Amino acid sequence: MGEPIETIEGWYALHDFRRIDWDTWQNLGAAQRREAVRELTALATQYHAVAPDVGSFGLYSVIGHKADLLFLHFRAEPQALWQLERRLDQGMLASLLHRPYSYFSVVELSKYLARGLNDEDARASLRKRLQPSIPDVNYVCFYPMNKRRQGNDNWYMTSRDERRDLMKGHGIIGHKYHEQVTQIITGSQGLDDWEWGVSLFADDLLPIKKLIYEMRFDEASARFADFGPFYIGLRVNPPNIAEILGG
């Protein structure tokens, strides 16, 4: 049998996707729409102002039919994420913000990647990865994934050394894009329906596309990876919420 690899966990993550009921929104009076925009702008501004040592937040307008908005939160405790959800659910727009999807997970780093962290600079680097600040760039790409468990392509029946070598090759590809794409990996075994969530951030979508395409040819993905739905979001600053809602 395969042997588990220990992981180090950091902040919890919530990808909170919302779909706007546009028909109901258009039927609201002008004053109601203005008040709803004001309230949502104030709430997003509070989310965005979270101290860097407490958490991080990003708001995105989702491209395509799967959702309209993504509220992306990182916090130290699950209870904090629950409270952030409830605050949004209790606002004026609560009845208009349906939830087509959400994903709950925790920032995860394999101990393979944490070796040699004996000096302060290395430990600071580790903290930065476990308590990430959402990059201030144009786009996010999020997708969940599993490691395959089928016949000879069963990731969990391979040896530690084989998995380490496979992921090393995976990392080499990722490093080619590290100046263009920031990656945050979150683990969700026992927390959500998939095993990992992958969040990619970049100023241009094409490096994300090229990175994912190239990794499909790597054995770790070609043999062992199953992917869920992909969501693409365009970063929104809270003062621009009115533009999205047209109010």
Mean pLDDT value across the chain: 92
Active site residues: 143
Is residue 164 a part of any domain in this protein? yes
Mind listing the pLDDT tens digit for each residue in 17-59?
Answer: 999 999 999 999 999 999 999 999 999 999 999 999 999 999 9
Can you say whether the dihedral through the CA atoms of 102, 63, 135, 169 is positive or negative?
positive
Angle formed at CA 180 by CA 225 and CA 178, multiple of 5 degrees = 60
Contact assessment for residue 199 and residue 184, using Cβ atoms and an 8 Å cutoff: yes
In-domain check, residue 221: yes
What is the per-residue pLDDT across 131-183, written as a single tens digit (0 to 9) for each? 999 999 999 999 999 999 999 899 888 888 888 888 888 788 888 999 999 99
State the residue for tokens 């739905």.
229
In contact, 70 and 233? CB cutoff 8 Å: yes
Dump the DSSP string for 144-210.
EEEE-EETTEEGGGS-HHHHHHHHHHHHHHHHHTTTT-EEEEEE-TTTSSSSEEEEEEESSHHHHHH
Asked whether 25 and 126 are in contact (CB, 8 A), the reply is no
Number of domains in the chain: 1
C-alpha distances out from residue 98 to 27, 31, 69, Å: 17, 22, 10
Q: What is the pLDDT of residue 116?
A: 53
In a domain, 227, yes or no: yes
pLDDT the model gives residue 125: 80
Q: What is the mean pLDDT of residues 224-232?
A: 96
Helix (H, G, I), strand (E, B) or coil at 74: strand
61 vs 158: CA distance, rounded Å: 40
CB 97 within 8 Å of CB 27: no
Contacts of 215 (CB under 8 A, 6+ apart): 170, 173, 174, 221
- Is 33 inside a domain boundary? yes
pTM value is: 0.93
Host domain of residue 35: 7-245
* Cβ–Cβ < 8 Å for 234, 60: yes
| Tally of CA atoms within 13 A in the half-sphere of 183 that contains its CB | 20
Residue 6: pLDDT band with limits 50, 70, 90: confident
Percentage of residues of the chain with pLDDT beyond 70:
94
Domain assignment present for residue 2? The answer is no
Residue 176 lies in a domain: yes
pLDDT given for residue 119 in this prediction: 62
Residue 74 in domain? yes
Residue 207 lies in a domain: yes
pLDDT of 168 reads: 83
Residue 87, pLDDT > 80, answer yes
The CATH number given to whatever domain includes residue 75 is: 3.30.70.1030
Model confidence at 118: pLDDT above 70:
no
